[in-house]
Amino acid sequence: MQKEELKYWLALKHNPNIGPITFLKLLKAFGSMEKLWKSLKHILIKKKVKEEIIEAIEELKATISPETEWQKIKKLNINVVTFKDKEYPKLLKQIPDLPPLLYYQGDLTEDKAPIAIVGSRKYSSYGQQVTKEITKELAENDVTIVSGLALGIDSFAHKVCLEAGGRTIAVLPSGLDKIYPACHQFLAKEIITKGGLLISENPPGTQVWAGNFAVRNRIIAGISKGVLVIEAAQISGTLLTARAALDYNREVFAIPADIYRPTSYGVNNLLKMGAHPVTQAQDILYELNIPYQPKSVIAGFLSPKEREILSFLSREPLHIDGLSRVTKMAMSELLPLLTILEMQGKVKNIGANQYVIL
């Protein structure tokens, strides 16, 4: 899109009363946002623009300079893509309330297999373990991981994807110059540096408020082929993402969880409603017809004692004290063997000396 038209789009994005649906209706009525901006009030009335929208436009014209907004994004090194541009994400263009324009930083490459991973901010060790295993394997199979950069499962999925050498997209509820949460500024930079993408519907300077999260979550769902939910309470933003995915005819996946844990209610309820149960990455890949390539396994000779250790480990965490008791090995003997098995990628210390098999 030409700069002269685009700068009026940027200016009009600064009033929350002009949401995506209203924006598209105005564009259809006037043909261009420059014509809308330069129209007198009686023309707006003639075009049957609602009074509150007319007031919003008049307020913007008195306080915002389209040229200044254009210069601002250039100074901040922020790019813009509109739904009229060929670079606009194809999946996102299919939803009825698509964002007319997106602010972005990073690589806007069209992703063949984007999958959203969302979940609770207060995740359990089980949720952490599941997120790590499934995210890693999806990334190894060229799946792009989409999430919201939020505390908890979202940011953990971004980090695991990057560690696995994969591509990840973070959708922000704020302006791109106001990374939220602020503690994830380094993670946001790492996503860009490693070939990923940051996107937002909100103009620079936008701070976070409660309504932004539901708006953000619809983009997470809309830009993805499917949404995987890992732990969600009865009332959570995670479930809003899943609901948006259903509205957009996207696949919804869920990890079965402990029925007595508060963060399990939402995800188990999704399963009752027909979400695809997932116990491994292959479940998602199969459902979306994405070819599966088994992850590489580090080969090596296992001693009898190493095999014995593996025989007592499972996906359920086992403390090293318990492992010492069942194997009847002293700590001085057990610790070096566990270190070797960790280096081979066969076991994992998930924290507090709790071990699981990989």
Using DSSP's 3-state secondary structure scheme, residue 100 falls into coil
What pLDDT sits at residue 303?
82
Q: Which residues of the chain have pLDDT under 50?
A: 296-299
Distance, in Å, from the CA atom of 198 to the CA atom of 190, rounded to the nearest integer, reads: 11
Quick one: tokens of 156? 């953990």
Tell me if 163 sits within 8 A of 145, measured CB to CB: no
What pLDDT sits at residue 260?
84
Using DSSP's 3-state secondary structure scheme, residue 64 falls into coil
- What contacts 100, CB < 8 A, 6 or more positions away? 9, 20, 23, 24, 27, 82, 83
What pLDDT sits at residue 265?
86
State the virtual CA torsion across 125, 131, 137, 143 in degrees, nearest 10. -170
Tracing tokens 């799946």 back to the chain, one arrives at 143
36-64 confidence digits (pLDDT tens): 999 988 899 989 999 999 999 999 999 99
Distances (CA, A) of 69 to 13, 102, 157, 199, 299: 10, 14, 34, 18, 57
Of 173, 48, 152, 36, which Cα lies nearest the Cα of 103? 173
Distance, in Å, from the CA atom of 164 to the CA atom of 148, rounded to the nearest integer, reads: 19
Tell me if 141 sits within 8 A of 114, measured CB to CB: no
What pLDDT sits at residue 297?
40
What pLDDT sits at residue 300?
52
User: Is 302 exposed, middle or buried (CB count within 10 Å of its CB: 0-12, 13-18, 19+)?
Assistant: middle
Q: How far is CA 177 from the centre of its chain?
A: 18
What pLDDT sits at residue 298?
39
Quick one: tokens of 317? 């965490």
Helix and strand numbers (H, E) in the chain are 16, 12
Distances (CA, A) of 259 to 126, 182, 242: 13, 33, 19
Distance, in Å, from the CA atom of 355 to the CA atom of 342, rounded to the nearest integer, reads: 10
Of 118, 90, 88, which Cα lies nearest the Cα of 103? 88
What pLDDT sits at residue 295?
57
Tell me if 103 sits within 8 A of 200, measured CB to CB: yes
